[in-house]
Structure 1
Amino acid sequence: MKKFIFTAVLTVFSVITFSAQQNDASISKLFQNYLSIKNALVSDNSDNASKAANEFIKSASMIDFKVLSEGNINVLKKDASQISDSRSIDSQREIFGHLSQNMISLTKNFKLADKSVFVQYCPMADSSWLSSEKEVKNPFYGSSMLSCGSVKSEIK
């Protein structure tokens, strides 16, 4: 089921025509808010993950539909809303996996940051996430398995 949902979402992101403006500031802000969610999960802090998800939703709401389609923005906002509404760190981490797959799809069409962005992978969670640093800090297991995972690719 998880693979089917990912494939369906990836297909949605693949068929959308993106703006020629590949380095949009609103997308960079969205990425920064995504990193805040990741860092809160790394720190095992569900309250901060919820707050960061709210900021992510605000950033997503500021993106022009000419830059990213309304459907794609709604998919991102839905995942972030579920993280925001949940008080269970385990649930937040599971939803973060979906959000991460959608954010990884964005990297194919947008430059998210001025520096390299790293796609990292946790074999225990069978999920990937984005990071602005090469050092692995696992958001799916936090302090219990902080360095579990590997860098799968670097996006320059």
Structure 2
Amino acid sequence: MKTAFYIVLTLIIFSCKQSKEAEVIIAPSQVEDVTQEIAGDLNETSGTIPVTFELEYINAIYESYLDLKAALVNTNAGDVASIASDIEEMIKEMNGTDQQLSKLTSFLEKMAASSEVKKQRLLFENVTDEVEKLLSGKVTSGKVIKQYCPMAFDGKGAYWLSNSKEIRNPYFGDKMLKCGVVDIEIQ
């Protein structure tokens, strides 16, 4: 009986002993690499898919749209506003009377006027819809990748267009850079 008592007492003493947590030390070279990676262009991918359209102005709008997406991926409200303004002006110079293009310019105008990335991202969803309508059925070579993030806008989800199958999420930027899936390929 005494032996059992001593065994239980020994177990209690050892179980009450405070354990020290392992201390993690990060070497300076590791910290620098991570910092450099985050500081770079978050929209960068290993490869892009070329595409051409029936009309040259659609090429120009699509290329500018990709610049707009990149600015949102990098969470740069100033660049977003500037690029949105440039696209709006380009469309007005080309063919501002077309109803579909006027809807697009309206969203771009609001985007350019905003300095809040959150509002710009909400408007980007509308811009994406209008750009998709504009280029659908007009691809002459290559393809446009339509991607989807189910978590955007509190679980409502949102789409965007890309020239790469690699996900670079414009709705979350660096917070959830690779959140999303390839939905379809527009050819």
Does residue 122 (structure 1) correspond to residue 149 (structure 2)? The answer is yes
**How far apart, CA to CA, are the structure 1 residues paired with 2:110 and 2:186?**
28
**How far apart, CA to CA, are the structure 2 residues paired with 1:145 and 1:83?**
22
The root-mean-square deviation of aligned C-alpha atoms, in Å, is 1.6
Render the CA deviation track for 1:56-114: whole Å, top value 9, x for unaligned.
1122123347xxx6211110000111110000000000000011111112232322x85
1:49 corresponds in structure 2 to 80
1:142 corresponds in structure 2 to 173
**How far apart, CA to CA, are the structure 2 residues paired with 1:108 and 1:115?**
13
2:107 corresponds in structure 1 to 79
SS of the residue aligned with 2:146? strand
Structure having the higher Rg: 2
**How far apart, CA to CA, are the structure 2 residues paired with 1:41 and 1:117?**
19
SS of the residue aligned with 1:140? coil
Work out the percentage of aligned pairs sharing the same amino acid. 28
1:109 corresponds in structure 2 to 137
1:122 counterpart letter in structure 2: C
Q: Is the 8 A contact 1:60 1:77 kept in 2?
A: yes
Q: Which of the residues 69, 85, 91 maps onto 1:60?
A: 91
Which range is displaced more, 73-82 or 55-64?
55-64
Which range is displaced more, 98-107 or 46-55?
98-107
Q: Which of the residues 89, 98, 105 maps onto 2:126?
A: 98
**How far apart, CA to CA, are the structure 2 residues paired with 1:54 and 1:85?**
8
2:71 counterpart letter in structure 1: A
Gapped runs of 5+ residues in structure 2? 1-52
**How far apart, CA to CA, are the structure 1 residues paired with 2:141 and 2:71?**
22
Shift of the alpha carbon at 1:143?
A: 0.4
SS of the residue aligned with 2:84? helix
2:5 corresponds in structure 1 to none
Please give the TM-score of this superposition, normalised by the length of structure 1: 0.78
SS of the residue aligned with 2:148? strand
**How far apart, CA to CA, are the structure 2 residues paired with 1:35 and 1:62?**
20
Gapped runs of 5+ residues in structure 1? 1-21
SS of the residue aligned with 2:161? strand
